[in-house]
Structure formats: structure tokens, C-alpha cells
Structure 1
Amino acid sequence: MAKELRSGYTTGACAAAGVKAALLYAAGESWQEVELTALDGTKLTIPVKAVEKTAAGLKAEVVKFSGDDPDITNGVSVFTQVRHLTGAKEEIIFRAGEGIGTVTKPGLSVPVGEPSINPGPRQLIRNVVAEVLGKETIPLEVTISIPAGVELARQTLNPILGVEGGISIIGTTGVLRPMSEEGFKNSLVPQIDVAKATGFKDLIFVPGKIGERIATGWNLPAAAMVQTSNFIGFMLEAAAERGIERILLFGHIGKLSKVAAGVFYTHNRIADGRLETMAAYGAAAGLPQDGVQALLAANTTEDALVVLQQAGLQEKVCQKLAERASLRAERYLFQKLKVGTVMVTLSGELLGMDATAKEIGEGYGWKLPQ
């Protein structure tokens, strides 16, 4: 029987639990364990590690529990500081403490200049304040801190999304269920929204760090780059839905040769026909049978390129693969947008690109390797 995975609670739920605990502490009530109703109606019971009175207000500490989700914030302390305000127009003013980022680019769910505390957590906090204090709510300042967030932010997409100074307080409902593939895919999409809000109509899709590093070295704008991971098809569809006009697929031949074969989920355990694709196009270009066999026996696509190079066919085959990747991507999207493709080696050598890729790259003033 398969093990049932445990759910946990989000950083937003931790912050809400801390706010509730602080308010209960101020009222002289028990605060060591609080109950929350998540935004989807799920009942959560969250232990509170500590509440203390400080010169700046009441400060609570809740330790994040992620269940069986591989969340990077599992086990970190989430601190919430609550302070009563006088003369404030808003019922609750949110502040970013240590380790919480600030939004610096448009396109996210909170405005530029605001703490990166998403709408879900904000509503959850408003709910617990109304629950404890009633309708006659006294204006409050709520400051959320996760000291570990400064370092943890480097393991997230926040630097790309324009969230500076730390991580985000996230969570749609407050319940953290083990991350599904769908959840991970959806976490990539805000990159498109941010790039579009910044004014880019042509985006650069980089499946991995290799493409991103090389594209940056070619002077392509980092703000227009979107990491797709293995979900190239999903991200292409998301771009089309948002009215993006053109996409430049920029990456290593190992990933993009799969797209040339019509593969849009490129995880190697799902689709690993790189050598077969290169062999097929090599044979179509005149690669002799022994060359095809040598290519199929290669360990990596970089080794396969040596076979093509020795046969004098590398440029011809790679050019065709780039053109075919764009053709298959546009067909996959039913011609909803234009796609160009640039294929490179690990060292950044240009292998092949099509006309649309050249047009997009020149529009961005790229500097091709000599």
C-alpha cells in the first residue's frame, strides 16, 4: 500500500498563526497552540514556539512544517511582530522584516514597493484579526520576518521575478500539500507575467542554466529570460495565452534537439531521444551508416557532435535541427505565436539558429561569439 503523504502549512499560515497567538497573549488567553481555518475551509492546528513582549510590540515565533513536501523553508522560524497603531487609515499595514523580500517589478500579485506577502496570507491574517478582535478592529502593523530567508531566496526564482531582499510569504489557502508536478509548473509562470509587465513582447525561454548563462554572455536581456525547466510545451502555451508575440528558445542541443523531434516535456526519464534525433537528421544529410552507428553509440550529444563534425555535417545538421525545433513549437501552438531557436554547446559555441531567432536576437542587440 502506498504511503499517504502528510500535508503541512504554508509560511502564510505560520504568519497568521503568529498574529493570532500574539493577540491571544495580549488578551491573557492560551496561545501555545492555535487553530486556523484555511482559505479553502481546512482546519489547521499550529503549535506556537514562543510569544514575547518587545519595545516594538508583541513578537511570536512559529516553526514551519511542510509535511512531506520538499519545501526549502521546512523547519525555519517565522516571526510575526504585531503593533497597535493610532491614526492609521488601513486596518492592517504589512511590513517586510528580515529575510522577507520587497517587490521591485510589476506583474506579480502585489504592487511594486510592497512587501512580498501574497494576497492569500494577507487575507488569512485579516481573518484571524477579525476573529480575535471582532468587527471593531484596531489598526495594526504586522511585520513578518524569516531571518533564514536572505540565504534561502537564492534557491528561488525571486531574484528573477524582481523580489529583492529575501523570500516571499506565499500560499493560496494556507494548507501545504506535497508539491505536485502541476504545482511546480505553475510556479514558473509568473516569470512570463513579470517580463510582459516590464514591456517585453519577445521572450527568451531557457530550459536550464546553460542556456541562461550563455544567453546572458551574448548580451541578451536577463529581464526577458524565462526558465522553463523541462516544461517547454506548458510554458509555450502559457506565453501564448498571455499574448506574447515571439519566443526565442535558447539552449543546449541536448534539450532542444528533443523539441525538434516534437517532444515538449524534456525530462530524460520521459524522453531521451537526443541521439536518435541527431542520427536521423545526420542520416538525412548524408551521414554514412558507420557514422550513424558511431553517433548512436555516443555517450552524450557533445560526443555526437564530434561525429558530425568529422563528417563535415555539423553545421548543416544543427541548422536543420534549430529550424525544425521552431517549426514543431509553432505547430504545437497552432501558430498562435512565432518561435525562433538557438542551439549551443556547453562552452557557448553557436551550433544553429533559424531566421526568427536571428531577428529576435538582433532586435536585442546580441553579441554573437566570434
Structure 2
Amino acid sequence: MLNRYIVKDGKKLRYGYTTGSCAAAAAKGAAILAVRGERPVKVAIDTPKGWRLEIPIEAWDVGENYVLCTVRKDGGDDPDVTHGILVEARCELIDEPRIEIRGGKGVGIVTKRGLQVPPNHPAINPVPRMMIQREVTEVLPKDVGAIITISVPRGEEIAKKTFNPRLGIVGGISILGTSGIVEPMSEEALKDSLALEISMAAEEGKDRLVLVPGNYGRDIAMAYYGLPEDMLIKTSNFVGFMLEKCVEYGIKQVLMIGHIGKFVKLAGGIFHTHSKVADGRLEILGANLALLGANPEDIRELFQCVTTEAALEVIEKKGFEHIYGFLCDKAEEKSAQYVHHQLEVGIIMFSMEKKILGIGKKGKRLLEAFQNE
């Protein structure tokens, strides 16, 4: 267990270590056993973050021409689907001074361009490869080399719960990590994963995408509008970040489909839609109702609502349903301004009942174009 902590939102959260660190520790442990005949209880490795880790060894195995070392991943207080999995490294010594790193069972194979690893290679990213190389080199005698094979026994099963299938990585998980350390509740890690999908789409020649915050938007895009799954990318709450990434990777047109509780914020110029960053939903609704002629009593009633869904009941009771298209147009304008008009953005808003509330002017045109593509 890594006994380092960070305090976030008043909570003490423990750091963990990546699959890359696990692979490096397992590889070093296997090399120690192969060269020295020792079976240490822990293996010390250096991480790119500058922290030196002592990672416990879960198991050993000795074969006729190889040794095997197993490490269990500890994700700290940011547990994802790989938390607790076993990562194995098999070491075969060779009579030439080189280290060859291979992917074994449960490590995915890259099939598409746009990732850090080229197609037809095991999904062991450059930083974990560097870590494995460095740690094993530290152990080997001068004129001795090794073939290191990294495996994840449950990797193929676990990969189905990750982004890998969408990224064209088949047969297992990726061995990842740029710092070697998992930071609890890491927003940056999630953003990197989301942006990677835009990079992949651009590599495939796409210049039109459909962005959705979550599963509801995805369902509407596919089931209601018949849009193809390979056009859809989730944004989570990072709408502004994802629009910027679309510009960076050369995307020209984006249709965004989301719940009004998220997307009304765009009409107010809020592009990180998590409530802890900014809320203002009722304020934006109230201001725009006033622009459309609502009286003060109507707006006071709106401000008594706790949720956006409750606010919709007030809006419709007062006969102001036309606000939805008005908000969509504003959200389109604000989105274009956010990326300095380098991207054409259309907006569709819906309610929790998956009822379409409004479509912006650009949204109507883009939707028709996307459906006819």
C-alpha cells in the first residue's frame, strides 16, 4: 500500500500506482530472481513523478527457462476497473545485451492509428516501457539481456469495461501511466481519456462529431435520431475542454446533445458543467424568461424550484416553451465564441424523460447533414 495522501474537498485521499508501475516492479522482481536467485518481498522502483515506490510482490513462479513475478495493482482512493488486478512479468535471460518487451495474455493489441503505440503492437505505452527497461537494466549483468513479457490474467475481461474497445485495442487492457502514480480523483486522467477519442476520430479522417455528456444523450443520438455510434464521443462535464480538443484535432462540425440541466449552462457561458464549478441554472433560465416577457411573479416561482426538471413544469405552465429554442441558439453562439469561431456547433436539449425540448438553428442544419451522411 502506498502511504501518501492528498486532501481534496476536505477528504484525505490515498495515492495509488499505475499498471505501468506494476509492470516495471514485476519485471524488476523477475529479473532479480532470474539473475540472483533472490525472491524479495518488495521491489523498489523509481517513477517519473520522482517518487521511489516499494511495491509488494504477490507471487513467484520458476519454470525451466523462465521466472515469473506477479504484482497486484493498488489504485489508492481512485479505484477504477483495474484496481486490484494482477500484473505478471515473465523474464527469460538471453546471451546478448538487449531487453525486449512483449505483451502476453490480457495485454491488448493496438489496431488503429492515433495512439502512443503503433498498430499491431502490444498496448504498453512509452513511459511504462521506459520504466521496465530502466528497472531491468539496473539488475542485469553487463553482457546479459532479457525478454520480458507482461501479462494481465483478467485483462481481456476487464478491458470490456474500459475505453479500449472504442479505441481499437483488442484482447486486453493497456499498460499505462505517465507519472507512475495514480492521483486520487484525477480529473486530468479522465480528460486525457476523453480527448484520446477525438484524436482517434481525427486519425480516421472524421471532421464531424456528436458530443454527449453521458448515456442519455448517447441513447437519444442513436435510438431517436439514428446517428451512428462511431460519431459519438462523451464529454462528461468537460464541454469546453472537448470543444478545444475538437479544434486542436481539426474537427469542423460538432452536434451536441445534452440534458437541459447541463446545457442551459452553456447559454450562460459556463463550459465546465459540474455543479461544484458553477451552477447558475435557475439564474440563466430566469434571465432569459425575463427577456422573453415573463413577469416577476413567474420568475419568483421559477426560483422556488430545486431542480431543472421542476423548473420545466413552471416554464410550460406559464406558456414559455419557446425558451428552449432560444436557449439552444444562445448555447450555440456561446460555444462558437468559446473556440473563437473555429468550430461550427449545433445544440439539442432534452429533459429527463428523453423528450426533445429544443434544437438550435445550427443544430437543425447539422442534424440533417449528419443523418444524410
- Post-superposition Cα deviations, 1:243-299, rounded to whole Å, max 9, x if no partner, equal 221222211111000110111111123322222222222232233444333332234
**2:272 aligned residue:** 265
Q: 1:252 to 1:7 in 2, by over 3 A?
A: closer
**Deviations, residues 182-219 of structure 1 (Å, cap 9, x unaligned):** 34333321121111112211122211221122112222
Matching of residue 360 in structure 1 with residue 369 in structure 2: no
Q: Does 1:322 align with 2:328?
A: yes
Question: What SS is found at the alignment partner of 1:35?
Answer: strand
Shift of 1:225: 2.0
1:38 is aligned to 47
Unmatched segments (≥5 aa) in structure 1? none
Q: Which residue of 1 aligns with 2:27?
A: 19
Deviates more, 1:280-289 or 1:327-336: 280-289
After superposition, where does 1:1-370 map in structure 2 within 5 Å?
Answer: 6-32=14-40, 33-54=42-63, 57-83=66-92, 91-98=99-106, 100-134=107-141, 136-138=143-145, 140-147=147-154, 149-217=155-223, 218-314=225-321, 316-365=322-371
8 Å contact 2:27–2:132 — kept in the other structure? yes
Alignment partners' CA distance in 1, 2:213 and 2:83: 27
**Helix, strand or coil: the match of 1:108?**
coil
Q: Percent identity?
A: 39
Q: TM-score with structure 1 length normalisation?
A: 0.87
Q: Is the 8 A contact 1:96 1:116 kept in 2?
A: no
Looking at structure 2, the residues matched to 264 and 327 of structure 1 have their Cα atoms a distance apart, in angstroms, of: 13
Unaligned runs of 5+ in 2: 1-5
Distance 1:176 1:308 in 2: 45
In 2, are the aligned partners of 1:10 and 1:64 still within 8 Å (CA)? yes
**Structure 1 residues 327, 167: CA separation in 2 closer, same or farther (over 3 Å shift)?**
same
Distance in 1 of aligned mates of 2:112 and 2:318: 49
Q: In structure 2, what is the Cα distance between the partners aligned to 1:144 and 1:187? A: 22
The CA deviation at 1:97 is 1.3
What residue identity is the alignment partner of 1:330? A
Distance 1:286 1:174 in 2: 57
Q: Is the 8 A contact 1:221 1:364 kept in 2?
A: no
C-alpha RMSD over aligned residues: 2.9
In 2, distance between residues paired with 1:154 and 1:287? 50
Secondary structure at 1:226's aligned position in 2?
strand
In structure 1, distance between residues paired with 2:183 and 2:82? 14
What letter matches 2:53 in structure 1?
L
- Counterparts of 2:66 and 2:300, CA distance in 1: 73
For the residues of structure 1 that align with 2:173 and 2:36, how far apart are their CA atoms? 33
Q: What is the SS of the residue equivalent to 2:87?
A: strand
Distance 1:311 1:86, change over 3 A: farther
| Contact 2:23–2:150 under 8 Å retained in 1 | no
Contact 2:95 2:143 (C-alpha < 8 Å) held by counterparts: no
Distance 1:176 1:137 in 2: 33
Distance 1:187 1:290 in 2: 46
Per-residue CA shift, 1:8-51, capped at 9, x if unaligned?
32111111111121122122332322222223543222221221
CA distance in 2 between counterparts of 1:319 and 1:221 reads 25
Residues in 1 aligned to 2:297 and 2:185: alpha-carbon distance in whole angstroms: 46
Q: For residues 224 and 43 of structure 1, do their structure 2 counterparts lie closer, same or farther at Cα, with a shift above 3 Å needed?
A: same
**Which amino acid counterpart does residue 30 of structure 1 have in structure 2?**
E
In structure 2, what is the Cα distance between the partners aligned to 1:294 and 1:177?
43
CA distance in 1, matches of 2:312, 2:173: 41
TM value normalised by structure 2:
0.86
Whole-angstrom CA distance in 1 between matches of 2:196 and 2:368? 26
Q: Deviations over 1:83-134 (max 9, x none)?
A: 45799xx841422413x33333322111233322211111211222322224
8 Å Cα contact 1:231/1:266 also seen in 2: yes
Deviation at 1:323, TM superposition (A): 0.7
Offset from partner CA, 1:346-370 (integer Å, 9 cap, x none) = 2332222223222322222179xxx
Mean CA deviation greater in 225-234 or 317-326: 225-234
Where 1:189 maps in the other structure, the secondary structure is helix
Q: 1:337 to 1:84 in 2, by over 3 A?
A: same
2:3 is aligned to none
